[in-house]
Structure 1
Amino acid sequence: MVYFVKYFSIALIVSNFNLIYSDDVNIRYEPTWSSLDRRPLPSWYDEAKVGIFIHWGVYTVPSMGSEWFWINWKNKNEKYVKFMEKNYKSDFSYQEFARDFNAELFNATQWALLFRDAGAKYVVLVSKHHDGYCLWPSPQSFGWNSMDVGPKLDIIREVSSAIRQHTDLRFGIYYSLFEWFNRLYLNDKLHLFMRQDYVDNKMIPEQMYLVKTYQPEIIWSDGDWEAPVKYWKSQEFLAWLYNDSPVRDTVVVNDRWGIGTSCHHGGFHNCADRYNPQTLLKHKWENCFTFDKTSWGQRFDIKLSDFLTMEEIISQIVTTVSCNGNVLINVAPTKYGTILPIFEERLREMGKWLKINGEAIYGSKPWHQQNDTLTANVWYTTKSDPRSNNVTFSVNIYAIVLEYPYKTNSININPWNVFVKHPLASYVNYKGLKEELGTKIKSITLLGLQNTTIEWTLNYSSLTINFPDKRHIDHEGLKYAWTFKIATELSDF
């Protein structure tokens, strides 16, 4: 019975997540949530874990406050009004900023290689934000796109081509459904969204063009919150996307498709900006956050303290992935097309950490408990060992330590705490289970120091793991968070 409980508990957890996100074929989806929500999420997304978000547009020219500059200025926000009065003529319009959005130092290949080196597996580019400015030559946005005014480039073409030619990252787009000052939209709004002139003549043609032309594998929808799903025709668009589009087999979408859809419908759930519940969610979700704590767009009115530290960034990655989420980390280029050194530094440091610890992140699954009950700031992920066979079932448990134990140079953890909570555990002696599991721990290693012997002991209530000499850890450049790989083998089940 001990062997059965042990195998059943671990195998069920690992296999269930694989089943939930396996690919499905030969199904046609109806334009209803009951049908669309049954589509399995393509498996590549769950395996990828780490993505890069790019907010780049006309709002980088004033480079003040945030990417919501236009609406804040027009709504008479004092900070923005004073900025404009001090720096621009009285009759200056937001559209005039586009002339200075020249991107003269933009190099899409450099971007792509940087994102690859950062350890990202996918990229989402903002194709159009709420100001309506398009980063492609949209016929529905004549005179207000990156080919007609500004850099005179098809930015989406440049970025998507560079990513696909120089990396193995997936490419996706963000698209804002509404536009603050679009006349068609405002007229539809005036008619309580009983008219759909904006949707039929602007939004849907752009969505279809973007998918057919650039074939993005992520559609990250936003700007949906003012109108219902029926107005946006979101279900019809998603049915076409899943059934007949050129990316129907691999595309993933988020959950912002109209009033009431966030955290309920769509593909992966985003729920809110910077969403990180730090608890296991059964439905796949994504934590999108920014290096700049307040703005998604690049701004110069920023202090060093406004940036996330590397420890905070790694903590976001670890706590999100442990709870079945992905991270989408925002980068904000300047109007020149450059990425500020502090953003690059954060990305490269993130890449170094993932190069060492990525085994515990990419392709991992949530363990049956997400964080440790004995020691704070220890989080878990797991993978089944591909060397498992009909005789043994091998599972690697990754214990990621977010705070170094300077006083003790060791941690006490209990990765198997859930076994005593399992309904079948009433048949199992708790102490006996612990002792037996101890005999089945094959090895414990510290990622980045795999050739260094790790000392450990298994007691009645905890597993004690000793860190190597801190000087050795520092010499190898292991920092921000440290991952112990606990290789276990369960047999005779």
Structure 2
Amino acid sequence: MGRLSLVLLLSMLLIGTSRTKYEPTWESIDSRPLPPWYDQAKVGIFIHWGVFSVPSFGSEWFWWYWQKQKLKPYVDFMQRNYPPDFKYQDFAPQFTAEFFDAKEWTDIFASSGAKYIVLTTKHHEGYTLWGSKNSWNWNAVEVGPKRDLVEEMASALRANSDLRLGLYHSLFEWFNPLFEQDAASVFTTNFFPTSKTLPELYELIVKYKPEVLWSDGDGDAPDKYWNSTGFLAWLYNDSPVRDTVVTNDRWGAGSICTHGGFYTCADRYQPGHLLKHKWENCMTIDTKSWGYRRNAPLSDYLTIEQLVATLVETVSCGGNLLMNVGPTHDGRIAPIFEERLRQMGQWLKVNGEAIYNTTAWRAQNDSVTPHIWYTSRPQEKAIFAILLEWPNNGSVILGEPVVTQGQTQVMLLGHGSLKWEPVKPSGLEVVLPQLSFSQMPCQWAWTLKLTGAT
């Protein structure tokens, strides 16, 4: 019995010491493998919501453009519609969220086919959507809705869907006096990160246990000022989400597209070719703003055709798509956003096999026929050719796949098997079915699945 106890104790010690311990250096932090769920997920939803949703004019950078840059459209907007002594802080009580129903939002997000969401817990304005102990009188529990909006969203998401929770957090705040003080000393002091940023980051992780931590807004300060590697070492070694959490590359000046988890490189990043490192295209359905704009014309919103094309190109080149919606100050997701998300879900119901759990193929797009992008599932020996346009002549030539008669099979997802013929010098011509509009498997892009091809 004593010997068995000793064996068990040694086994437990071995298990305890087998976990990789990450050091607070970029070399060590960057060596951590990305948890597999993230690459398999492919599709996420970004939600930009805050006090900027009250003026809902121009951009979520409203405060900066109005007060700091004094851009004419913003100055004129305020002069026309508000008294002269009105401050940005006066918008906060009007951030009411009375129509916010987290379960309703979850239903919309789940219907889109997305596998994770990323909610702005705090943008550069500094207002937090939870009752941050470090954001006195500038948070959603004390001013505005008087509710913990992060908790409501996290609970509804977990109770009513399989989506994973992601949280966005801005490192810096435009007008925080402590940050301005540190910036004036060229970041030789660190009053702001030690008393504000880092306590909030630890609190978000421990309290809400997100599986995506989406950092942003370094304020031109280096990562040492933010103690980014120290925080990430804790996140990967000791946090409650250490095994599943993924994070991005916005952890201080110079870290973007260089250090961290997945790379974002730039907003609306679309390299058009395969990258060696996992990346994400964070982009907006309203092409001009991340926050809601009351005055946005229909022409500023992406069509579903454009949105599907963006998804297909992104996934073909090895990326994930994080598509943004901006809710209203009273907590609604506008019908135009809801429609786009539900349309994306309709498309993914038919074509999801070519998106989820796929890897980039040896060719990203076709060399003969334009507007065709490839993905693959090596484990199933399947290649997917996604056509963004339905040909007018009844057939399509795929120049990239190497095919063998009697072995290669082609099917149209949502329909069935198709006939094909080899073409010279290489590739194949696929005969497309003659379908009426109502018989089409989907309306915006179509997927050919090839097996027995290389």
TM-score category, normalised to shorter length: over 0.9
For each residue in 1:411-460, what CA deviation from the matched residue of structure 2 results, as whole angstroms up to 9, or x when unmatched? 111233xxxxxxxxxxxxxxxxx56x33421x21111113xx41211123
Structure 1: state its 5+ residue gaps.
1-23, 387-394, 417-433
Is the alpha carbon distance of 1:226 and 1:489 closer, same or farther for their aligned partners in structure 2, counting shifts above 3 Å? closer
- Does residue 1:463 correspond to 2:428, yes or no? yes
**Correspondences of 1:131-142 after superposition (within 5 Å):** 131-142=125-136
- Does residue 1:411 correspond to 2:404, yes or no? no
Q: CA deviation at 1:462?
A: 2.4
Contact 2:413 2:441 in 1 (8 A): no
What secondary structure does 1:92 align onto?
coil
Q: Residue 115 of structure 2 aligns with which residue? A: 121
Contact 2:354 2:384 in 1 (8 A): yes
In the aligned structure 2, how far is the partner of 1:53 from the partner of 1:397?
29
What secondary structure does 1:203 align onto?
helix
- Does residue 1:396 correspond to 2:382, yes or no? yes
Paired letter, 1:176: S
Q: TM-score, normalised by structure 2?
A: 0.94
Q: CA deviation at 1:409?
A: 2.1
Contact 2:415 2:441 in 1 (8 A): no
Q: Residue 13 of structure 2 aligns with which residue? A: none
In the aligned structure 1, how far is the partner of 2:441 from the partner of 2:313?
22
- Does residue 1:28 correspond to 2:21, yes or no? yes
Is the alpha carbon distance of 1:477 and 1:455 closer, same or farther for their aligned partners in structure 2, counting shifts above 3 Å? closer
Paired letter, 1:440: Q
RMSD in angstroms over aligned alpha carbons? Answer: 1.4
In the aligned structure 2, how far is the partner of 1:414 from the partner of 1:67?
45
Q: Residue 324 of structure 1 aligns with which residue? A: 318
Equivalent in 122, 134, 143 of residue 137 of structure 2: 143
- Does residue 1:50 correspond to 2:50, yes or no? no
In the aligned structure 1, how far is the partner of 2:194 from the partner of 2:370?
53
What secondary structure does 1:365 align onto?
coil
Q: Residue 414 of structure 2 aligns with which residue? A: 448
Q: CA deviation at 1:282?
A: 1.3
Equivalent in 442, 450, 453 of residue 486 of structure 1: 450
**Correspondences of 1:70-219 after superposition (within 5 Å):** 70-74=63-67, 75-219=69-213
**Correspondences of 1:228-239 after superposition (within 5 Å):** 228-239=222-233
Q: Residue 286 of structure 1 aligns with which residue? A: 280
Q: Residue 12 of structure 2 aligns with which residue? A: none
Contact 2:283 2:322 in 1 (8 A): yes
In the aligned structure 1, how far is the partner of 2:183 from the partner of 2:42?
38
Q: Residue 419 of structure 1 aligns with which residue? A: none
Structure 2: state its 5+ residue gaps.
1-16
**Correspondences of 1:270-285 after superposition (within 5 Å):** 270-285=264-279
Q: CA deviation at 1:384?
A: 2.8
* Equivalent residues, number: 436
In the aligned structure 2, how far is the partner of 1:119 from the partner of 1:489?
28
Q: CA deviation at 1:225?
A: 4.5
What secondary structure does 2:153 align onto?
helix
Paired letter, 1:134: T
Contact 2:327 2:333 in 1 (8 A): yes
* Paired-residue identity, %: 52
What secondary structure does 1:172 align onto?
strand
For each residue in 1:331-386, what CA deviation from the matched residue of structure 2 results, as whole angstroms up to 9, or x when unmatched? 11101100111111101100000010000000001110000000011010011345
Q: CA deviation at 1:489?
A: 6.7
In the aligned structure 1, how far is the partner of 2:276 from the partner of 2:443?
31
Q: Residue 438 of structure 1 aligns with which residue? A: 405
Is the alpha carbon distance of 1:414 and 1:25 closer, same or farther for their aligned partners in structure 2, counting shifts above 3 Å? farther
Q: CA deviation at 1:234?
A: 0.4
Paired letter, 2:446: W
In the aligned structure 2, how far is the partner of 1:458 from the partner of 1:489?
12
In the aligned structure 1, how far is the partner of 2:264 from the partner of 2:406?
42
In the aligned structure 1, how far is the partner of 2:383 from the partner of 2:25?
40
In the aligned structure 2, how far is the partner of 1:25 from the partner of 1:447?
44
Equivalent in 283, 294, 300 of residue 300 of structure 1: 294
What secondary structure does 1:140 align onto?
coil
- Does residue 1:313 correspond to 2:307, yes or no? yes
In the aligned structure 2, how far is the partner of 1:335 from the partner of 1:68?
15
In the aligned structure 1, how far is the partner of 2:439 from the partner of 2:259?
48
In the aligned structure 2, how far is the partner of 1:58 from the partner of 1:175?
15
What secondary structure does 1:470 align onto?
coil
Q: Residue 8 of structure 2 aligns with which residue? A: none
What secondary structure does 2:119 align onto?
strand
